[in-house]
Amino acid sequence: MPGWDVGISLPHILSQSVEDQAGARGEFAATGGTEIRVNTKVRLFGDDSGGVALVASANFSRIQDNPYAGDGAGPTFNFEAAADTTIGKIALGGNVGYRLRSPGDKIPNSIGNPLGDQIIASAAASYLVADWSTKFIGEIYTSFAAQTSEDENDNRSLSSAELLLGAKHDINTNLALHAGFGTELAQGLASPDYRVYTGLNYTFGPVFKQPIASSKPEPTSKTRTTVVEEADEELIQQLATEQTADGPVERFRTQAILFEFDSDKMVGNYARVLAELAKYLKGGFRELIVEGHTDSIGSEAYNDKLSLRRAAAIKRYLVQKYGFT
Protein backbone atom coordinates (compact mmCIF):
# COMPACT_ATOMS: atom_id res chain seq x y z
CA MET A 1 0.00 0.00 0.00
CA PRO A 2 1.56 3.34 -1.01
CA GLY A 3 2.52 5.48 1.98
CA TRP A 4 2.73 2.54 4.41
CA ASP A 5 5.99 1.73 6.21
CA VAL A 6 6.82 -0.99 8.73
CA GLY A 7 10.03 -1.45 10.71
CA ILE A 8 11.82 -3.22 13.54
CA SER A 9 14.60 -2.04 15.88
CA LEU A 10 16.83 -4.07 18.19
CA PRO A 11 18.54 -1.66 20.65
CA HIS A 12 21.64 -2.89 22.50
CA ILE A 13 23.64 -1.43 25.39
CA LEU A 14 27.35 -1.61 24.51
CA SER A 15 28.80 0.20 27.52
CA GLN A 16 27.73 2.27 30.55
CA SER A 17 29.28 4.27 33.35
CA VAL A 18 27.71 5.48 36.61
CA GLU A 19 29.98 8.01 38.32
CA ASP A 20 27.66 9.15 41.11
CA GLN A 21 26.86 6.15 43.29
CA ALA A 22 24.92 8.19 45.86
CA GLY A 23 21.13 8.31 45.96
CA ALA A 24 18.66 6.77 43.52
CA ARG A 25 19.98 5.90 40.08
CA GLY A 26 19.34 3.62 37.14
CA GLU A 27 22.00 1.11 36.08
CA PHE A 28 21.98 -1.98 33.88
CA ALA A 29 23.32 -5.16 35.45
CA ALA A 30 24.82 -6.21 32.11
CA THR A 31 25.17 -5.06 28.52
CA GLY A 32 23.23 -6.52 25.60
CA GLY A 33 19.79 -6.29 24.00
CA THR A 34 17.26 -4.18 25.88
CA GLU A 35 14.06 -4.56 23.88
CA ILE A 36 12.41 -5.32 20.56
CA ARG A 37 10.61 -2.43 18.88
CA VAL A 38 8.19 -2.81 15.98
CA ASN A 39 6.53 0.14 14.27
CA THR A 40 4.28 1.11 11.43
CA LYS A 41 3.50 4.44 9.77
CA VAL A 42 0.71 5.40 7.36
CA ARG A 43 1.00 8.70 5.48
CA LEU A 44 -2.43 10.32 5.28
CA PHE A 45 -1.41 12.86 2.66
CA GLY A 46 1.71 14.51 1.30
CA ASP A 47 4.81 13.38 -0.58
CA ASP A 48 8.58 13.17 -0.12
CA SER A 49 8.73 16.89 0.68
CA GLY A 50 6.25 16.75 3.58
CA GLY A 51 2.89 15.63 4.85
CA VAL A 52 0.95 14.17 7.77
CA ALA A 53 1.08 10.59 9.05
CA LEU A 54 -0.14 8.34 11.84
CA VAL A 55 2.45 6.25 13.68
CA ALA A 56 2.03 3.24 15.97
CA SER A 57 4.74 1.22 17.69
CA ALA A 58 5.17 -1.47 20.34
CA ASN A 59 8.11 -2.06 22.70
CA PHE A 60 8.75 -5.53 24.13
CA SER A 61 11.21 -5.30 27.02
CA ARG A 62 14.00 -7.89 27.35
CA ILE A 63 15.31 -6.47 30.64
CA GLN A 64 14.88 -8.60 33.74
CA ASP A 65 13.85 -6.91 37.01
CA ASN A 66 13.22 -3.61 35.23
CA PRO A 67 12.02 -1.23 37.98
CA TYR A 68 10.47 1.17 35.44
CA ALA A 69 8.28 -1.58 33.95
CA GLY A 70 7.75 -3.82 36.99
CA ASP A 71 7.56 -7.57 37.43
CA GLY A 72 5.35 -9.24 34.80
CA ALA A 73 4.93 -6.09 32.70
CA GLY A 74 3.36 -6.25 29.26
CA PRO A 75 4.40 -4.39 26.10
CA THR A 76 4.33 -0.62 25.77
CA PHE A 77 2.33 0.90 22.90
CA ASN A 78 2.86 4.34 21.36
CA PHE A 79 0.27 6.13 19.21
CA GLU A 80 1.37 9.34 17.50
CA ALA A 81 0.43 11.92 14.90
CA ALA A 82 3.39 13.22 12.88
CA ALA A 83 3.91 16.05 10.41
CA ASP A 84 6.92 17.13 8.39
CA THR A 85 7.89 19.63 5.71
CA THR A 86 10.96 20.53 3.67
CA ILE A 87 12.35 24.02 3.09
CA GLY A 88 15.24 23.81 0.65
CA LYS A 89 17.73 21.37 2.17
CA ILE A 90 16.23 21.68 5.67
CA ALA A 91 13.61 19.18 6.80
CA LEU A 92 11.40 19.94 9.81
CA GLY A 93 9.19 17.49 11.69
CA GLY A 94 7.22 16.97 14.84
CA ASN A 95 5.31 14.22 16.69
CA VAL A 96 2.77 14.23 19.49
CA GLY A 97 1.14 11.18 21.00
CA TYR A 98 0.28 8.92 23.90
CA ARG A 99 2.36 6.11 25.44
CA LEU A 100 0.19 3.32 26.83
CA ARG A 101 2.01 1.17 29.35
CA SER A 102 1.14 -2.19 30.92
CA PRO A 103 3.11 -1.96 34.19
CA GLY A 104 3.76 -4.97 36.36
CA ASP A 105 4.13 -5.26 40.12
CA LYS A 106 6.69 -3.18 41.96
CA ILE A 107 10.01 -4.97 42.33
CA PRO A 108 11.08 -5.20 46.00
CA ASN A 109 13.70 -2.62 47.05
CA SER A 110 13.49 -0.81 43.70
CA ILE A 111 13.83 2.97 43.50
CA GLY A 112 10.14 3.55 42.78
CA ASN A 113 6.90 2.35 41.31
CA PRO A 114 6.66 1.22 37.67
CA LEU A 115 5.95 4.04 35.22
CA GLY A 116 2.42 4.74 34.09
CA ASP A 117 1.06 6.20 30.86
CA GLN A 118 2.79 9.23 29.34
CA ILE A 119 2.14 12.01 26.87
CA ILE A 120 5.03 12.17 24.39
CA ALA A 121 6.17 14.86 21.95
CA SER A 122 9.22 15.58 19.82
CA ALA A 123 10.53 18.11 17.32
CA ALA A 124 13.39 17.64 14.87
CA ALA A 125 15.30 19.36 12.09
CA SER A 126 17.83 17.99 9.60
CA TYR A 127 20.14 19.52 7.00
CA LEU A 128 21.19 17.60 3.89
CA VAL A 129 24.75 17.90 2.60
CA ALA A 130 24.20 16.21 -0.75
CA ASP A 131 27.88 16.06 -1.73
CA TRP A 132 28.56 13.97 1.39
CA SER A 133 25.30 11.97 1.17
CA THR A 134 24.80 12.94 4.81
CA LYS A 135 22.08 14.53 6.92
CA PHE A 136 22.90 16.36 10.15
CA ILE A 137 20.05 16.00 12.63
CA GLY A 138 18.93 17.73 15.81
CA GLU A 139 15.99 16.49 17.89
CA ILE A 140 14.31 17.28 21.19
CA TYR A 141 11.92 14.75 22.61
CA THR A 142 9.92 14.92 25.81
CA SER A 143 7.58 12.84 27.94
CA PHE A 144 5.09 13.93 30.60
CA ALA A 145 3.32 11.79 33.15
CA ALA A 146 -0.31 11.26 32.17
CA GLN A 147 -1.15 9.75 35.55
CA THR A 148 -0.25 10.64 39.12
CA SER A 149 2.22 8.46 40.96
CA GLU A 150 3.53 7.82 44.47
CA ASP A 151 5.95 10.30 46.04
CA GLU A 152 8.79 7.77 45.90
CA ASN A 153 9.73 8.97 42.41
CA ASP A 154 9.96 12.65 43.33
CA ASN A 155 13.78 12.55 43.54
CA ARG A 156 13.79 12.05 39.79
CA SER A 157 10.92 13.61 37.89
CA LEU A 158 8.47 11.43 35.94
CA SER A 159 8.70 13.95 33.10
CA SER A 160 11.86 14.28 31.02
CA ALA A 161 13.38 16.06 28.03
CA GLU A 162 16.44 15.10 25.99
CA LEU A 163 18.44 16.72 23.19
CA LEU A 164 19.96 14.58 20.45
CA LEU A 165 22.54 15.72 17.88
CA GLY A 166 23.63 13.30 15.21
CA ALA A 167 24.30 12.45 11.58
CA LYS A 168 22.96 9.91 9.09
CA HIS A 169 25.20 8.89 6.20
CA ASP A 170 23.73 7.03 3.21
CA ILE A 171 26.12 4.25 2.23
CA ASN A 172 23.83 3.27 -0.66
CA THR A 173 20.12 3.45 -1.46
CA ASN A 174 19.26 0.85 1.21
CA LEU A 175 21.92 1.07 3.89
CA ALA A 176 22.68 4.03 6.17
CA LEU A 177 24.99 4.59 9.13
CA HIS A 178 23.83 6.90 11.91
CA ALA A 179 25.54 8.11 15.07
CA GLY A 180 25.12 10.89 17.59
CA PHE A 181 25.17 12.27 21.09
CA GLY A 182 22.35 12.88 23.57
CA THR A 183 22.05 14.79 26.82
CA GLU A 184 19.14 15.45 29.16
CA LEU A 185 17.56 18.90 29.23
CA ALA A 186 15.38 18.07 32.21
CA GLN A 187 16.30 15.32 34.65
CA GLY A 188 13.86 12.44 34.37
CA LEU A 189 13.45 8.96 35.73
CA ALA A 190 15.65 6.51 33.76
CA SER A 191 17.07 9.21 31.46
CA PRO A 192 20.89 9.29 31.16
CA ASP A 193 22.98 12.38 31.86
CA TYR A 194 24.47 11.80 28.42
CA ARG A 195 24.76 9.00 25.89
CA VAL A 196 26.50 8.20 22.62
CA TYR A 197 24.74 6.03 20.08
CA THR A 198 25.44 4.47 16.70
CA GLY A 199 23.61 2.05 14.42
CA LEU A 200 22.83 0.77 10.94
CA ASN A 201 19.53 1.30 9.17
CA TYR A 202 18.49 -0.93 6.26
CA THR A 203 15.37 -0.27 4.19
CA PHE A 204 13.77 -2.40 1.52
CA GLY A 205 10.52 -2.48 -0.40
CA PRO A 206 7.89 -2.01 -1.40
CA VAL A 207 6.97 -5.54 -0.28
CA PHE A 208 3.27 -5.26 -1.08
CA LYS A 209 1.63 -3.70 -4.13
CA GLN A 210 -1.91 -2.39 -4.34
CA PRO A 211 -3.85 -3.89 -7.27
CA ILE A 212 -5.25 -1.19 -9.55
CA ALA A 213 -7.68 -2.10 -12.29
CA SER A 214 -6.86 -0.59 -15.66
CA SER A 215 -7.90 -1.02 -19.25
CA LYS A 216 -6.48 0.15 -22.53
CA PRO A 217 -8.01 3.52 -23.48
CA GLU A 218 -9.29 4.27 -26.96
CA PRO A 219 -7.01 6.82 -28.66
CA THR A 220 -8.71 10.22 -28.89
CA SER A 221 -6.27 11.81 -31.31
CA LYS A 222 -3.27 10.92 -33.41
CA THR A 223 -1.56 14.08 -32.07
CA ARG A 224 -1.88 13.40 -28.36
CA THR A 225 0.86 14.02 -25.80
CA THR A 226 1.66 11.21 -23.33
CA VAL A 227 3.25 11.92 -19.95
CA VAL A 228 4.64 8.96 -17.99
CA GLU A 229 5.37 9.09 -14.26
CA GLU A 230 6.81 6.43 -11.94
CA ALA A 231 4.97 5.00 -8.93
CA ASP A 232 4.92 1.78 -6.92
CA GLU A 233 1.61 0.57 -8.39
CA GLU A 234 0.55 -2.09 -10.88
CA LEU A 235 2.07 -2.02 -14.37
CA ILE A 236 0.05 0.85 -15.84
CA GLN A 237 -2.53 3.22 -14.36
CA GLN A 238 -4.25 5.75 -16.62
CA LEU A 239 -4.79 9.16 -15.04
CA ALA A 240 -7.04 11.99 -16.20
CA THR A 241 -6.69 13.31 -19.75
CA GLU A 242 -6.14 17.06 -20.01
CA GLN A 243 -7.39 19.05 -22.99
CA THR A 244 -4.92 21.74 -24.15
CA ALA A 245 -4.61 24.03 -27.15
CA ASP A 246 -2.10 21.60 -28.67
CA GLY A 247 -4.42 18.65 -28.23
CA PRO A 248 -5.16 16.13 -25.46
CA VAL A 249 -2.48 15.30 -22.89
CA GLU A 250 -2.79 11.79 -21.50
CA ARG A 251 -0.99 11.00 -18.27
CA PHE A 252 -0.05 7.48 -17.19
CA ARG A 253 1.56 6.17 -14.03
CA THR A 254 3.73 3.06 -14.28
CA GLN A 255 5.14 0.66 -11.76
CA ALA A 256 8.54 1.98 -10.64
CA ILE A 257 11.26 1.26 -13.19
CA LEU A 258 14.34 0.41 -11.15
CA PHE A 259 18.00 0.98 -11.98
CA GLU A 260 21.27 -0.30 -10.57
CA PHE A 261 22.79 1.99 -7.95
CA ASP A 262 24.54 4.99 -9.53
CA SER A 263 23.77 3.63 -13.02
CA ASP A 264 21.38 3.96 -15.97
CA LYS A 265 21.14 0.16 -16.33
CA MET A 266 17.53 -0.96 -15.79
CA VAL A 267 16.85 -3.93 -13.53
CA GLY A 268 13.84 -5.84 -12.25
CA ASN A 269 10.44 -5.80 -13.93
CA TYR A 270 11.16 -3.04 -16.47
CA ALA A 271 10.53 -5.23 -19.58
CA ARG A 272 6.90 -6.00 -18.61
CA VAL A 273 6.25 -2.39 -17.60
CA LEU A 274 7.58 -0.95 -20.85
CA ALA A 275 5.82 -3.63 -22.92
CA GLU A 276 2.51 -2.55 -21.40
CA LEU A 277 3.37 1.11 -22.02
CA ALA A 278 4.22 0.33 -25.64
CA LYS A 279 0.68 -1.02 -26.16
CA TYR A 280 -0.72 2.41 -25.28
CA LEU A 281 1.83 4.28 -27.38
CA LYS A 282 0.97 2.25 -30.49
CA GLY A 283 -2.39 4.05 -30.50
CA GLY A 284 -0.51 7.11 -31.71
CA PHE A 285 1.14 10.04 -29.92
CA ARG A 286 2.79 13.35 -30.72
CA GLU A 287 5.27 13.58 -27.85
CA LEU A 288 6.38 11.33 -24.99
CA ILE A 289 7.59 12.86 -21.71
CA VAL A 290 9.17 10.58 -19.08
CA GLU A 291 9.20 11.86 -15.49
CA GLY A 292 11.23 10.16 -12.76
CA HIS A 293 13.58 10.76 -9.84
CA THR A 294 16.76 9.63 -8.11
CA ASP A 295 17.46 9.23 -4.39
CA SER A 296 19.10 11.94 -2.24
CA ILE A 297 22.58 10.43 -2.42
CA GLY A 298 25.02 12.67 -4.31
CA SER A 299 24.94 16.30 -5.39
CA GLU A 300 21.93 17.89 -7.07
CA ALA A 301 23.90 18.52 -10.27
CA TYR A 302 25.09 14.90 -10.43
CA ASN A 303 21.58 13.54 -9.82
CA ASP A 304 20.16 15.78 -12.56
CA LYS A 305 22.62 14.24 -15.03
CA LEU A 306 21.85 10.73 -13.77
CA SER A 307 18.10 11.36 -14.19
CA LEU A 308 18.66 12.42 -17.82
CA ARG A 309 20.76 9.30 -18.48
CA ARG A 310 18.03 7.08 -17.04
CA ALA A 311 15.32 8.80 -19.09
CA ALA A 312 17.49 8.35 -22.19
CA ALA A 313 17.84 4.64 -21.35
CA ILE A 314 14.04 4.26 -21.33
CA LYS A 315 13.76 6.12 -24.65
CA ARG A 316 16.53 3.98 -26.18
CA TYR A 317 14.81 0.78 -25.07
CA LEU A 318 11.45 1.83 -26.57
CA VAL A 319 13.11 2.84 -29.86
CA GLN A 320 15.19 -0.33 -30.19
CA LYS A 321 12.59 -2.79 -28.93
CA TYR A 322 9.38 -1.38 -30.40
CA GLY A 323 10.56 0.88 -33.22
CA PHE A 324 9.23 4.20 -31.92
CA THR A 325 10.84 7.28 -33.40
Tens of pLDDT, residue by residue, the chain (325 residues): 567 888 898 888 888 777 666 655 566 777 888 889 999 999 898 776 788 999 999 999 888 888 878 888 899 999 999 999 988 778 899 999 999 988 888 888 776 678 888 899 999 999 988 778 888 999 998 988 887 655 555 445 567 889 999 999 888 767 889 999 999 888 776 667 888 989 888 876 544 433 333 333 333 333 444 444 444 445 655 555 666 666 667 776 776 778 877 788 888 778 888 888 888 777 777 777 777 666 666 667 777 888 888 888 888 888 888 887 7
Is residue 207 in a domain?
Answer: no
Regarding whether 129 and 40 lie in a shared domain, the answer is: yes
Regarding whether 198 and 269 lie in a shared domain, the answer is: no
Is residue 215 in a domain?
Answer: no
**Its pTM surpasses 0.85:** no
Is residue 209 in a domain?
Answer: no
Regarding whether 234 and 196 lie in a shared domain, the answer is: no
Regarding whether 300 and 163 lie in a shared domain, the answer is: no
Regarding whether 188 and 69 lie in a shared domain, the answer is: yes
Domain count, the chain: 2
* 129: phi then psi, degrees, rounded to nearest 5: -105, 95
Regarding whether 181 and 137 lie in a shared domain, the answer is: yes
CATH number, domain containing residue 312: 3.30.1330
- Do β-strands 35-47 and 32-33 pair in parallel, antiparallel, or remain unpaired? unpaired
The closest alpha carbon to 296, from 16, 89, 101, belongs to: 89
Q: 121-135 in b/e burial notation, b at 16+ Cβ within 10 A? A: ebebebebebeebbb
* Collapsed DSSP state (helix, strand, coil) of residue 225: strand
Is residue 56 in a domain?
Answer: yes
Domain that residue 283 falls in: 225-322
Regarding whether 266 and 138 lie in a shared domain, the answer is: no
The closest alpha carbon to 187, from 154, 148, 159, 149, belongs to: 159
- Asked which of 171, 202, 233 is the last residue of a domain, the reply is 202
CATH number, domain containing residue 129: 2.40.160
- Asked which of 139, 169, 202 is the last residue of a domain, the reply is 202
Regarding whether 181 and 62 lie in a shared domain, the answer is: yes
Regarding whether 162 and 286 lie in a shared domain, the answer is: no
Regarding whether 229 and 197 lie in a shared domain, the answer is: no
